[in-house]
Chain A
Amino acid sequence: MDARQTGRRPRLAVWKFASCDGCQLTLLDCEDELLSIAAEMEIAYFLEASSAPGPGPYDLSLVEGSITTPEDAERIRHVRRVSRRLVTIGACATAGGIQALRDFADVREFTSVVYARPEYIATLERSTPISANVPVDFELRGCPIDKRQLLEVITAFLADRRPVVPGHSVCVECKARGNVCVLVAHGTPCLGPVTQAGCGALCPAYNRGCYGCFGPAETTNSGALNAKLRALGMSDPDLVRVYRTFNATEEPFRRASEEAEGDA
């Protein structure tokens, strides 16, 4: 039964699939808010933080990581069944993560590079986002996610409204922050024009081009950006690599990398 009808605290669960733990750590990094979150919600299942996992169902499940093994493909279905709302957190869960680079290679060859006895390794050919496996209520992007956006997701859940997370590009945040445009002013290659906001335009603030860790923005024009990046001296293999990092299988990034690959 729904927590709102019974008056009990809503129950929170945090799940991990193939990932680095960075996104769930973001919750523990809310040092100022952690204890008030724990007052509002019962942290019922969070293996990284508690040795007493409570049984389901859960009102809100945060899911980190991608699906890369047959067992995990089963487990995520179970998670969906016991979760009223399921929110994926981070590039692994929303896009397959860095481990999705296997999608562009032969996973058996990958396995034999790392393991002397690859026959013991049970792994899928692809690293898929959670939404490719089960229905998802909301996706929060970033590698890692942004702490403020995570708090917005939790607050919105508690207020029973949809989280307010902008879909525009990093460029908009750069302007808001008053950053100098590294692309125009310094000629530094930057994925800001095609990357979703959320980080606060972090890289340009540190004199660095965006490398796309929040994945593609709502509307992107990678053709125009690629022309500009080529003019700055980037080769086609450089372009392929720049789109193939933590969100490589997101459609706009995949298309952009395949375009560059076609030209290479």
Chain B
Amino acid sequence: MTHKTIRLGGLSRVEGEGALLVRARDGVVTDLQLKIYEPPRFFEALLRGRSYEEPPDITARICGICPVAYQMSACQAIESAFGVEVTGPLRDLRLLLYYGEWIESHALHIFLLHAPDFLGYESGVAMAADHRDHLERGLALKKAGNELVATLGGRAIHPVNVRVGGFYRVPRPRELAPLAEGLRRAREHALDTVRWVAGFDFPDIEHDYRFLALRHPGEYAILSGSPAVSDGTAFPVTDWPAHVVEEQVPRSTALHARLDGTGGYLTGALARYALNSERLSPLARSAAREAGLGPICRNPFRSIVVRAVEVVHACDEALRIIEGYTEPDVPAVPVDPVAGVGHGASEAPRGTLYHRYRVDEAGLIAEADIVPPTAQNQVRIEMDLRALIEPHLDLPQAELAALCERAVRNHDPCISCSAHFLELRLDAR
């Protein structure tokens, strides 16, 4: 009997820290656990008793890489509890802010975290030694995204200008105009990026994924939409709790989400692309075609190409909004708190992010529920790993470990963004 235990220590280049435990016997994986070293921070508990105005600022602090996603899901959930809808130019500004975050977050993942895997470097900075031009392009893209967020939100991390109902201050057209120049350059960089990453060497692996992403009638859904599943199921956001249930798995103590009773579905770039690719901007669609993506991409390693295509789309759409921008009359629509329950979901760079709040008659949060993308993807990531490892059990330990790390990074798991991942403790038996 061969008995092999692979331990990766800190799992690097995912935001946050995790570890993976694998046990195999006679060529079969008998146990596999993705361990997350994220100490719980209890957001859902500490939100209780806070004012309805506070979740955008407080939940932003769940994740420094995608704070806008948290702010947008939170605002929309609370607005839905009050029967308020943000439309027109105010909604456009929200989209613009969100595109900025997508550009920044995807550029970070593509250039600093994911590309080094394909080119054999330990980090983006190390990659610069031989590929300085590519890294500089990535940093320029990232900067363009950050500038968009900082102009609209005040700063790139935890923007201060977001509120329930809209913004504190809306930009003058002349504040936005200078961004257009940078975005046009960014769009060129993004197109070059698609070409560059499409040429990487991809392992020949496909999984039969069950995808979940928001769909929107007129957009490649990012800010809002209704959850749709690749098996044809679709439901309004208000029905989320009836479909997605989070369970604390005793074996691992992590919270795992199940969709209609089954775990192991996937949310994120591959899911969005599979469900919504026809809604990408024409330029992004043609970039995807040239990159040979096809209508659905089931190879998780290729997700880097899908992210690059999404960056093209985000630059394109951001430019469209800036060019058509007229300053709204008011920075925010008036909001009158009433007792009720509200649901909100948006597409964080790494997948669907759902918030639910129950607000009391005084406008205080009575109950909060947050389902981050990584909690949804964790089971699926473990399935990917299992499939990947079994045929490669004979690889030298270090090589196998590197392969596993890559398989995890494929899904851009912002481990911090999983508000309630925690450290694993094994039952000593």
Inter-subunit contact A22/B160 (CB<8 Å): no
Inter-subunit contact A18/B41 (CB<8 Å): yes
- Taking a contact as CB atoms closer than 8 A, the residue among A17, A31, A109, A202 that contacts B154 in the complex is A202
- Taking a contact as CB atoms closer than 8 A, the residue among A51, A102, A202, A211 that contacts B13 in the complex is A51
B107 to chain A, nearest CB (A): 9
Inter-subunit contact A203/B154 (CB<8 Å): yes
- Taking a contact as CB atoms closer than 8 A, the residue among A17, A97, A117, A206 that contacts B61 in the complex is A97
In the complex, whether A23 has a CB less than 8 A from a CB of chain B is yes
- Taking a contact as CB atoms closer than 8 A, the residue among A19, A23, A98, A199 that contacts B46 in the complex is A98
- For B8, the closest partner residue in chain A by CB is A51
A114 to B425, CA, bound (A): 18
Main secondary structure of the interface of B (DSSP, over half): loop
In the complex, whether A123 has a CB less than 8 A from a CB of chain B is yes
A51 to B136, CA, bound (A): 20
Question: Contacts A99-B41, A143-B61; is A49 near B157 (CB within 8 Å)?
Answer: no
Inter-subunit contact A48/B58 (CB<8 Å): no
Inter-subunit contact A31/B46 (CB<8 Å): no
Inter-subunit contact B155/A20 (CB<8 Å): no
B354 to chain A, nearest CB (A): 15
B324 to chain A, nearest CB (A): 23
Inter-subunit contact A47/B65 (CB<8 Å): no
In the complex, whether A133 has a CB less than 8 A from a CB of chain B is no
In the complex, whether B422 has a CB less than 8 A from a CB of chain A is yes
Q: Which of B13-71 contact A (CB under 8 A)?
A: 13-17, 38-46, 48, 50-51, 54, 57-58, 61-65, 67
Question: Contacts A23-B64, A203-B154; is A105 near B46 (CB within 8 Å)?
Answer: yes
A121 to B44, CA, bound (A): 15
Count residues of B near A (Cβ-Cβ below 8 Å). 72
- Taking a contact as CB atoms closer than 8 A, the residue among B113, B123, B128, B168 that contacts A206 in the complex is B168
In the complex, whether B146 has a CB less than 8 A from a CB of chain A is yes
In the complex, whether B161 has a CB less than 8 A from a CB of chain A is yes
Stretch of A32-40, A55-63, A156-164 lying at the B interface: A32-40
Q: Which of B382-410 contact A (CB under 8 A)?
A: 402, 405
In the complex, whether B250 has a CB less than 8 A from a CB of chain A is yes
Question: Contacts A47-B10, A51-B13; is A208 near B160 (CB within 8 Å)?
Answer: yes
B325 to chain A, nearest CB (A): 18
Please indicate the chain A residues that have their CB under 8 angstroms from the CB of B13 in the complex: 47-51
Inter-subunit contact A25/B64 (CB<8 Å): yes
Please indicate the chain A residues that have their CB under 8 angstroms from the CB of B255 in the complex: 115
A20 to B46, CA, bound (A): 16
Inter-subunit contact A207/B331 (CB<8 Å): yes
Q: Which of A72-128 contact B (CB under 8 A)?
A: 72, 97-99, 101-102, 105, 107, 109-111, 113-117, 120-123
- For B427, the closest partner residue in chain A by CB is A120
A183-208: contact bitstring with B at CB < 8 Å (1 yes, 0 no)?
00000000000000001001101111
A46 to B112, CA, bound (A): 12
In the complex, whether B299 has a CB less than 8 A from a CB of chain A is no
Most buried by A among B122, B155, B163: B155
Question: Contacts A115-B248, A120-B425; is A38 near B40 (CB within 8 Å)?
Answer: no
A123-144: contact bitstring with B at CB < 8 Å (1 yes, 0 no)?
1000000000000000000011
A260 to chain B, nearest CB (A): 14
Most buried by A among B44, B113, B135, B168: B168
Most buried by B among A16, A23, A206: A206
Inter-subunit contact B125/A202 (CB<8 Å): no
Inter-subunit contact A206/B108 (CB<8 Å): no
Inter-subunit contact B250/A20 (CB<8 Å): no
- Taking a contact as CB atoms closer than 8 A, the residue among B11, B44, B132, B331 that contacts A113 in the complex is B44
A258 to B167, CA, bound (A): 31
Most buried by A among B45, B50, B425: B45
Inter-subunit contact A99/B331 (CB<8 Å): no
A210 to chain B, nearest CB (A): 9
Inter-subunit contact B40/A20 (CB<8 Å): no
In the complex, whether B253 has a CB less than 8 A from a CB of chain A is yes
A199 to B61, CA, bound (A): 17
Inter-subunit contact B42/A111 (CB<8 Å): yes
Please indicate the chain B residues that have their CB under 8 angstroms from the CB of A43 in the complex: 123, 125
- For B126, the closest partner residue in chain A by CB is A50
What would 6 A/B residue contacts be, using CB atoms closer than 8 Å?
A19-B64, A52-B126, A98-B43, A117-B250, A120-B422, A208-B160
- 12 other contacts beyond A18-B38, A71-B423, A206-B169, with CB at 8 A cut-off? A21-B414, A22-B67, A31-B140, A34-B139, A50-B125, A51-B405, A52-B126, A114-B44, A143-B158, A206-B161, A208-B160, A241-B51
A interface residues with partner B (beta carbon < 8 Å): 16-26, 28-29, 31-32, 34-35, 38, 43, 46-53, 68-69, 71-72, 97-99, 101-102, 105, 107, 109-111, 113-117, 120-123, 143-144, 199, 202-203, 205-208, 211, 213, 238, 241, 245-246
